């Protein structure tokens, strides 16, 4: 698909929080009508009431909005228009002239705020105790429909279209060769970049690996599985059976859900933070694993930009089976985090991807760049150093 450039200028961007928006948020949080909860229910039925009340009280009374702005404005940001859609992105140029161009793609219910702790070490390793030879010029977009890119406004904005927008962005920035990295939806964006733009994408690195088992050459793909592969297959099947109601709702009736989540910040917090607790390597204690301000950075991006509906709509628009490539022939690195909820067996991955690097990580989950930024950076550096 050829992108309709529209206004293809690249304009500086800075996060500035409207104080009226903060006042409105605080009023809504103060007036939250809380549901009941069964005694000793814990998290079994979803977000636990006492925890969520505590988080919302902190968000209302103690969250530092000036510090939020400072964190999000630490690195240079821009907006442009691609395919009729506003696109926000960080562009962190390395001081090292021979740095490798890198594009990072997030997923749901994350945002570009997931990457705030890795942008500096990736772009300027020397300033963070690393080797200057490992430097990257980092591009990190807010995917269309997410955060400061704003809502999408027409049908058909699926993940393949998002991947084409990311490719156009890298071209517009003058990067004719680059490496791509991603998790969650960003992993599918990354796989599509590798599959569809092999003349420009030198390699990909992912936290998840999308594939269609039915596309594998074996008549019965399970025959390819060793003991670890079976464990991965069964763990993913268990997750799909018990934890993917969110996917079914967002892929069928996202608009109905969006009314509540767009109107109630407590509702939005309950929907998103339950996923962070379930999908992170936190052993049930999210606050001890990820700083609460970081969690609220991500949540506040959704609230302030009004993009929860369009972010969920990506599930409706995307036919995952049709979107997933049958072959990705560029060098591929995979970091397997122990709490990752989607675990692709290595034997299956090797049938679809050109696996050059597979690392069983010691800690971390679905939101690796936020949960364990240093191991995330180290593994990405290691992979790019190996194939380069």
Q: What are phi and psi of 139, to 5 degrees?
A: -115, 125
Report the Cα 207 to chain-centroid distance in Å: 10
Taking the CA atoms of 101, 321, 107 and 115 in sequence, report the sign of the dihedral they define. Answer: negative
Q: Judge whether 164 counts as a catalytic residue.
A: no
Q: What is the end-to-end Cα distance of the chain in Å, rounded?
A: 30
Active site residue 106: no
How far is residue 200's CA from residue 182's CA, in Å, rounded to a whole number? Answer: 17
Residue for token digits 């999908």? 279
Under 8 Å between Cβ of 238 and 278: no
> Active site residue: 184, 232, 281, 297, which one?
184
CA distance 159 to 314: 7
Distance between CA atoms of 113 and 222, rounded to whole angstroms? Answer: 38
In Å, how far from its chain's centre is CA 139?
A: 14
DSSP E strand stretches across the chain: 11-13, 77-82, 85-92, 100-105, 136-142, 178-182, 201-206, 328-336, 353-360
Has 366 been annotated as catalytic? yes
- Residues recognised as catalytic: 184, 316, 366
């Amino acid at each position: 698909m050829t992108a309709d450039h529209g206004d293809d200028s690249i304009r500086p961007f800075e996060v500035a929080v409207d104080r009226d928006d903060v006042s409105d948020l605080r009023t809504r949080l103060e007036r939250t009508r809380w549901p009941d909860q069964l005694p000793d229910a814990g998290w079994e039925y979803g977000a636990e009431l006492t925890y969520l009340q505590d988080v919302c009280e902190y968000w209302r009374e103690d969250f530092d909005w000036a510090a939020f702005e400072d964190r999000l404005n630490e690195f240079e940001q821009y907006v442009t228009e691609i395919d009729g859609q506003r696109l926000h992105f960080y562009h962190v140029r390395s001081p090292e002239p021979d740095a490798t161009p890198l594009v990072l793609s997030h997923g749901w219910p994350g945002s570009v705020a997931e990457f705030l702790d890795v942008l500096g070490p990736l772009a300027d390793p020397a300033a963070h105790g690393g080797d200057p030879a490992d430097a990257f010029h980092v591009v990190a977009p807010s995917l269309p429909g997410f955060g400061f890119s704003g809502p999408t406004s027409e049908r058909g904005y699926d993940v393949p279209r998002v991947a084409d927008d990311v490719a156009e962005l890298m071209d517009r920035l003058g990067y004719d060769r680059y490496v791509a990295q991603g998790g969650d939806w960003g992993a599918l964006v990354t796989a599509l970049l590798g599959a569809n733009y092999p003349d420009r994408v030198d390699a990909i690195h992912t936290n998840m690996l999308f594939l269609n088992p039915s596309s594998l050459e074996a008549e019965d793909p399970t025959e390819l599985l060793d003991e670890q592969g079976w464990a991965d297959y069964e763990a993913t099947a268990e997750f799909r059976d018990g934890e993917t109601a969110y996917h079914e709702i967002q892929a069928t009736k996202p608009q109905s859900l969006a009314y509540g989540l767009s109107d109630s910040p407590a509702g939005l917090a309950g929907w998103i933070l339950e996923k962070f607790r379930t999908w992170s390597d936190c052993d049930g204690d999210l606050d001890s694993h990820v700083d609460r301000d970081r969690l609220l950075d991500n949540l506040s991006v959704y609230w302030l930009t009004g993009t929860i509906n369009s972010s969920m709509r990506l599930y409706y628009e995307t036919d995952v089976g049709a979107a997933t490539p049958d072959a990705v022939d560029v060098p591929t690195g995979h970091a397997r985090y122990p709490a990752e909820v989607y675990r692709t067996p290595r034997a299956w991955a090797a049938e679809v991807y050109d696996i050059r690097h597979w690392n069983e990580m010691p800690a971390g989950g679905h939101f690796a760049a936020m949960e364990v930024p240093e191991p995330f950076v180290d593994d990405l550096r290691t992979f790019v150093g190996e194939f380069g």
